[in-house]
A and B are shown apart, each in its own frame.
Chain A
Amino acid sequence: MVLTAARRGHLVTAALLLPALLFLAVCFVVPMAVLFKLSVTAEEGPLSAYGEILGNWVYLRVFWNTLVVAVVVTAISVVLAYPTAHLLTRLKGWALTLAVYGVLFPLWISVLIRTFSWILLLEKNGPVNRVLVGAGLVDGPVQFLFNNTGVLIGMVHVLLPYAILPIYANMLRIDLRLLLASDGLAASPWMTFRRVYLPLTMPGVGAGAVFVFLLSLGFFITPALLGGISNLTVAMLIELMVNERLVWSLAAAASFLLLAAIAALLALATRFVPLGAVLEAR
């Protein structure tokens, strides 16, 4: 049989996709299936693990705390990222290179090392507290560690580049003549920002926020090291269930509930944020 051009095209597409599909099948789909099976094979009945998590306010509080941390981290990251990204668009030459490396550099250092560094910086007798006390800003050392404050500082630090980069990419694509046009039409700088620049950068803000939010929901190392036992996140809870309590069906069910929550939020987000539009060239 002679292959038509269209059929050959399909075959080429399939061949190109095959390695990635095989990899995902072996390393993602199969483990997920195993995990799902684990979550529904508790001794007390197929859905008992889900029931136990959803029916227990202690577990629900962990989910709630995870959500609150993720929302706050996202908000702080975006607020910090926006002016930073804007500054990047104004820089040129070596200053731009330096600033971009400044943004990317943290990504090259292990999260574990950065988190330990925060412990050294934020501990009771650490440099941050010594400066605060020395300057008379606080009466005694501030408790940064083993509560949500430490978790927020650590997580924002790790996740900030994921907010900066999409916003920066979005800002680069804005036609600067639109700002000139706004100025020429008698708009104040504030109106130009509020009515032209901000709306046009919202896709980047949305994309950055979604990245940071989703990564926050599954964060483990930073909350585990900087947070306290009273500020458990879902990732920490799963780890406890696996390593300490050895109830793997509960851990599997918690994983799937987190996955379901993420999927639902992502579906919601894509209705408002055109993620594809941020990634593709205009």
Chain B
Amino acid sequence: MTGSGQTIAFRGVARDFGAVKALLATDLDIMAGEFLTLLGPSGSGKTTLLNIAAGYLAPSAGRVLIGARDVTDLPPRRRNIGMVFQNYALFPHMSVFDNVAYGLRARGVPRADLERRVEAALGMVRLGGYGARGIRQLSGGQQQRVALARALVIEPDVLLMDEPLGALDRQLRQHVQLEVRRLHRQHRRTTIYVTHDQEEALVMSDRIAVMREGRLEQIGDAETLYRRPDNAFVAGFLGESNLLRGVVTAVDGVRARLRVDGMAGEIAGAAAAGLVAGTPGAALVRPESVRVSPAGRFEARLVERVYLGELVALRLALGNGQAVVCRRFARDGAPDGDRLAIDWDPGDVRILPDANSAGTTSNRTEEET
């Protein structure tokens, strides 16, 4: 399998369903060979964007370009895409071989070449020798890999994946994640991957685009999104976060200060872009940045102690009732008593705009649908 796929670009792409704006005008450029994940809760527009890329859905406005080709008005069959569906959509009346060969037959690939390519694709997903089996004889994970082989064997310009691991159990999901990542590292095929699972996004992606309510909230690599989220929603969606909500009191270039009701003094931290003094904001303190120390500035009550194996999560409450989670290595031992002093390094705090203060204080791993 050669080549690495094409660039794909969305130019002002939007989609309405009646009065519902499923996708607001979106610009997005994906590089050739890049693995981009669309991450967001249900109803965020990520699947809409994917279906527009595939051609299953026409945009209400905007253009889609694959390479230099404007494919906006082309049906899926003329876009040279590889699509992996949530429940695989394998043809149940065909063998594994015929499923994988389907796209090649549609393209009129000669028989000898076809057989060689199908076998290579099955070998690639570690299903060599499974060609003669029926789809219903395969486990979920195997079906998943057949779907992947079927999408990849045609050497698509873009590989599109719609929550392909949703139906697998957790252990298998982790295994297939690594498999997908390995295949991508080998072949560098341009990939758009849709998921609501932040862990999947972190494991596989070159870049992650976080979406909410039909809008791209932020796009960047995993570390950027985790360490420098642009707003409270992104901070809450990726990783676990403590968000102390309040009012921004001062913005001074790259630093800002925030006042939180019931907390003495102000919280200082790095300023996110677009922060305006006097507007609602939130201070982001990641759980691993919270320290328990006798000299700590903040009084906290221990609510619960959750043992997670290598880590221990301490669920704390500040004087004003604000919940704070602290995560530390289990081997560092448990603090004594349920009255603690905690602190954090101002360098680990980020002050974010908090336009929509919906509950975003815990990480999101619940199933969509």
- A residues with CB within 8 A of B: 175, 177-178, 180-188, 191, 195-196, 199-200
CB-based contact A184/B102 at 8 Å: no
11 CB-based A-B contacts, threshold 8 Å: A178-B91, A180-B85, A181-B91, A182-B91, A186-B77, A187-B102, A187-B103, A187-B106, A188-B77, A199-B93, A200-B93
CB-based contact B85/A181 at 8 Å: yes
Given the complex, which residues of B lie within 8 Å of A180, measured CB to CB?
Answer: 56, 76, 83, 85, 89
- Does B154 touch A at the CB level, under 8 Å? yes
Task: Give the residue of A177, A185, A199, A200 whose beta carbon is less than 8 angstroms from that of B103.
Answer: A185
Given the contacts A177-B85, A187-B77, A188-B77, A182 and B92 also touching, CB distance less than 8 Å: no
By Cβ-Cβ distance, the 6 closest A-B pairs, closest first, are A185-B103, A181-B89, A187-B106, A177-B89, A186-B106, A184-B83
Q: Which residue of B lies closest to A176 (CB)?
A: B89
Bound-complex Cα distance A183 to B102 (A) = 11
Bound-complex Cα distance A181 to B150 (A) = 10
Task: Give the residue of B78, B85, B87 whose beta carbon is less than 8 angstroms from that of A186.
Answer: B78
Q: Which residue of A lies closest to B108 (CB)?
A: A186
Interface centre among A175, A181, A183, A200 (most CB of B within 10 A): A181
CB-based contact B54/A184 at 8 Å: yes
Task: Give the residue of A184, A188, A191, A195 whose beta carbon is less than 8 angstroms from that of B81.
Answer: A184
- Residues of chain B from 56 to 94 with CB closer than 8 A to chain A in the complex: 56, 75-83, 85, 87, 89-93
CB-based contact A186/B89 at 8 Å: no
- Does B175 touch A at the CB level, under 8 Å? no
Total CB contacts across the A-B interface at under 8 A:
60
Given the complex, which residues of B lie within 8 Å of A191, measured CB to CB?
Answer: 106
CB distance from A192 to the nearest CB of B (A): 9
CB-based contact A200/B92 at 8 Å: yes
- Residues of chain B from 279 to 298 with CB closer than 8 A to chain A in the complex: none
Given the complex, which residues of B lie within 8 Å of A196, measured CB to CB?
Answer: 91
Task: Give the residue of B76, B150, B154 whose beta carbon is less than 8 angstroms from that of A183.
Answer: B76
CB distance from A59 to the nearest CB of B (A): 43
- Does B331 touch A at the CB level, under 8 Å? no
CB-based contact A186/B93 at 8 Å: no
CB distance from B91 to the nearest CB of A (A): 6
CB distance from A206 to the nearest CB of B (A): 13
Bound-complex Cα distance A177 to B93 (A) = 14
Given the complex, which residues of A lie within 8 Å of B106, measured CB to CB?
Answer: 182, 185-188, 191
Q: Which residue of B lies closest to A199 (CB)?
A: B93
CB-based contact B107/A186 at 8 Å: yes
Given the complex, which residues of B lie within 8 Å of A177, measured CB to CB?
Answer: 85, 87, 89
Bound-complex Cα distance A180 to B76 (A) = 8
Bound-complex Cα distance A230 to B150 (A) = 59
Q: Which residue of A lies closest to B160 (CB)?
A: A184
Task: Give the residue of A178, A184, A199 whose beta carbon is less than 8 angstroms from that of B77.
Answer: A184
Given the contacts A177-B87, A188-B77, A182 and B102 also touching, CB distance less than 8 Å: yes
Given the complex, which residues of A lie within 8 Å of B54, measured CB to CB?
Answer: 184
Q: Which residue of B lies closest to A182 (CB)?
A: B102
Bound-complex Cα distance A276 to B342 (A) = 68
Given the contacts A191-B106, A195-B102, A183 and B89 also touching, CB distance less than 8 Å: no
Q: Mask for B32-64, Cβ within 8 A of A = 1, else 0?
A: 000000000000000000000011100000000
CB-based contact A178/B107 at 8 Å: no
CB-based contact B89/A185 at 8 Å: no
Bound-complex Cα distance A187 to B103 (A) = 7
Interface centre among B56, B87, B93, B154 (most CB of A within 10 A): B93
Given the complex, which residues of A lie within 8 Å of B80, measured CB to CB?
Answer: 186
Bound-complex Cα distance A177 to B92 (A) = 12
Q: Which residue of B lies closest to A203 (CB)?
A: B93
Q: Which residue of A lies closest to B107 (CB)?
A: A186
Given the complex, which residues of B lie within 8 Å of A182, measured CB to CB?
Answer: 91, 102, 106
Q: Mask for B145-177, Cβ within 8 A of A = 1, else 0?
A: 000001000100000000000000000000000
Bound-complex Cα distance A182 to B75 (A) = 12
Bound-complex Cα distance A146 to B276 (A) = 92
Given the complex, which residues of A lie within 8 Å of B92, measured CB to CB?
Answer: 178, 200
